[in-house]
Amino acid sequence: MELKRSTGHLSRLRRSLVVSLAVLGLISGSVTLAQAAETADVHGPDPTEESITAPRGPFEVAEESVPRSSVSGFGGGTIYYPTDTTDGLFSALAISPGFTGPEGSIAWLGPRLASQGFVVFTIETITLTDPPDSRAAQLQASLDYLTDDSSVQDRVDPDRLGVMGHSMGGGGSLKAALDNPALKAVVPLTPWHTTKDFSGVTAPTLIIGAQNDTIAPVSEHAEPFYESLPDDPAKAYVELAGEGHLAPILGNTTLAKYSIAWIKRFLDEDTRYDQFLCPPPQDPALSDYRSTCPH
């Protein structure tokens, strides 16, 4: 617990330094706020189309299995994390599978995202049929474990946490953001939820739908969710052309690309990734793209 407090303190010191640098820049005209933020929070080389669509990013990744028996509030899972700590603390996110889906159904996202410079926790749910609101609570429980009790807690910035999820896990990620306004980014993947109004979500949210989804049709789920979200601080809607509900478990490169760009932009506050989000991309792999285009 002392280590957890120390890392949180270092994170706050780092952010104080960012603000101080920005203020000095305003006085001297030599450093902008964006430049100061990038100096403090950047992880990895300048991004390119090739780097965010590659199967692996610039960071070597290790993994650790978390047994169900060692946790409470969720079903265990696997933590993926960069092995190099010279960049300091990393943002972190938890990912929930969908209805009847085991952790393995979303496991591909673990090393793919972690290799871009994140700590990623792909979780097993308590039962395969847990509804979205239960998955929301389990996502929060897994983040608490990650920051308070895991063996990699000293790598995690507790002030930069996000959630993702597929199907009912995607609906759960939206509910988790409602319940925890401190979350910094949310990425629901072909999400499903009976609630349609998520206007209380305050975290930047990227909703990824699939054009041919017949299980959670975008007109009944992804699109209403997106339209209900506030414009501020940021939101976007990506629709995968020709894809169905199971695209998030099939290693979809387009899904990975926009997910990486979003969590880099809003978990790390890395403005180098704006280029992949704004202006709206002309991408043949998308059948729809909407956003508030933050800058």
pLDDT at 25: 37
- Share of residues in the chain with pLDDT > 90 (%): 83
Q: Which of 96, 161, 162 is nearest to 125 (CA)?
A: 96
Please give the average per-residue pLDDT across 210-222, as a whole number.
98
CA distance 16 to 181: 21
Cα 114 vs. chain centroid, distance in angstroms?
11
Burial class (CB in 10 A: 0-12, 13-18, 19+), 30: exposed
Query: Looking up tokens 């290799």, which residue turns up?
Result: 115
pLDDT at 10: 39
CA distance 190 to 101: 14
pLDDT at 272: 96
> Is residue 221 annotated as a catalytic residue, yes or no?
no
Tokens at 217, concatenated = 């049709």
Please give the average per-residue pLDDT across 187-193, as a whole number.
98
Q: Give 73's pLDDT tier (boundaries 50, 70, 90).
A: very high
Average model confidence (pLDDT) for the chain? Answer: 89
pLDDT at 41: 64
User: Could you state, in order of their start, the residue ranges of all structural domains in the chain?
Assistant: 49-291
> Is residue 295 annotated as a catalytic residue, yes or no?
no
Please give the average per-residue pLDDT across 269-276, as a whole number.
96
Please give the average per-residue pLDDT across 252-268, as a whole number.
97
> Is residue 213 annotated as a catalytic residue, yes or no?
yes
pLDDT for 239 beyond 50: yes
pLDDT at 294: 54
Active-site option among 96, 134, 142, 167: 167
Please give the average per-residue pLDDT across 73-81, as a whole number.
98
CA distance 62 to 80: 6
Look up the CATH architecture of domain 49-291: 3-Layer(aba) Sandwich (3.40)
Active-site option among 130, 133, 157, 213: 213
Residue 36: phi, psi to the nearest 5? Answer: -65, -40
Do the beta carbons of residue 170 and residue 190 sit within 8 Å?
yes
9: left (phi over 0), alpha (psi -120 to 50) or beta: alpha
Active-site option among 245, 259, 268, 291: 245
Helices (H) and strands (E) in the chain, counts: 8, 9
